[in-house]
Amino acid sequence: MSETIPVYIKGTDKVLLAEPAPGNQAIQPEKEAAAPLKALPKGDAKASAKAAKVTLVLDPLSITRVLSEGQKQVKVIVTVLSMKFEAMINSKSYRKALATLDELGPDNCNIILQASMTQPGKLESAGLAVMPKAPKTTETEYLTSTATFTTE
């Protein structure tokens, strides 16, 4: 079914007859079945990504303290085995993380650095967070906290 659409040109008496644009398969699902997706017979599935999300758990005792007041960002270099990661962290976030670390103590918290990596070793949009560790309960403490006593 071929229909034409009249197109009026402003300022003239001319009328053009145009054909409508071809339909979008995403909008018209009945035509989508005509082109089945191709699948590879066997092998590894492949995909591409714009960036990799990186989460590093830092050793609280390994963090060196630098004077960050008056600076916008602090450069942090993290070494994991033979790999080095370089991140720029907001100075205020860095100071808050160190203050929380001092408050909780290195044995009672985990320090998490999260960022996106678009180039090997270069971390962008990095953030630093201090997560307190949950206190471990012994079996006796668990049993006494969950036990119910009734008196008759």
Domain definitions of the chain by residue range: 52-132
Is domain 52-132 annotated with CATH 2.130.10?
no
CA distance linking residue 117 with residue 42, whole number of Å: 30
pTM higher than the cut 0.85: no
Distances (CA, A) of 94 to 63, 67, 70: 10, 10, 13
pLDDT tens-digit series, residues 51-67: 899 999 999 999 888 88
pLDDT digits (tens, 9 = 90+) for 8-59: 777 788 887 887 776 655 555 555 555 666 777 777 778 888 889 999 999 9
**Residue holding tokens 């390994």?**
62
First-to-final CA distance of the chain: 88
Please report, for residues 4, 54, 131, the alpha-carbon distance to residue 115 in angstroms, rounded to integers and kept in the order given: 54, 5, 16
Closest to 89 in 3D by CA, of 100, 77, 80: 77
